[in-house]
Amino acid sequence: MNFLAHVFLSKGDDFITIGNFIADSVRGKDFSKYPDRVAKGIMLHRYIDTYTDQHQIVRSSKDLIRKEYGHWSGVIVDIYYDHFLAANWKHYHQVPLETFAGNFYNLLESNHELLPKKVQNFLPYMVEQDWLSNYATIEGISRIFYQMNNRTRGKSKMDFAPIDLVIYYQQLEEHFQEFMQELMDYVDEIFPK
Q: Residue 1: is its pLDDT beyond 80? A: no
| Distances, alpha carbon 72 to alpha carbons 48, 118, 121, 160, 175, in Å | 19, 21, 24, 12, 18
User: What are the tens digits of pLDDT across the range 51-92?
Assistant: 999 999 999 999 999 999 999 999 999 999 999 999 999 999
Q: State residue 174's pLDDT score.
A: 98
What's the pLDDT at 90? Answer: 96
Question: Average pLDDT of the chain?
Answer: 95
Written as one string, the DSSP assignment of 142-185 is HHHHHHHHHHTTTSS-GGGHHHHHHHTHHHHHHHHHHHHHHHHH
Q: Which residues contact 79 (CB under 8 A, 6 or more apart)?
A: 2, 135, 141, 144, 145, 148, 161
CB atoms within 10 A of CB 127: 17
The pLDDT value given to residue 192 = 79
State how far the Cα of 62 lies from the Cα of 105, in Å rounded to an integer: 30
pLDDT (0 to 100) of residue 29:
84
Task: Provide, rounded to the nearest whole percent, the portion of the chain with pLDDT above 70.
Answer: 99
Query: CB 159: neighbour CB atoms within 10 A?
Result: 17
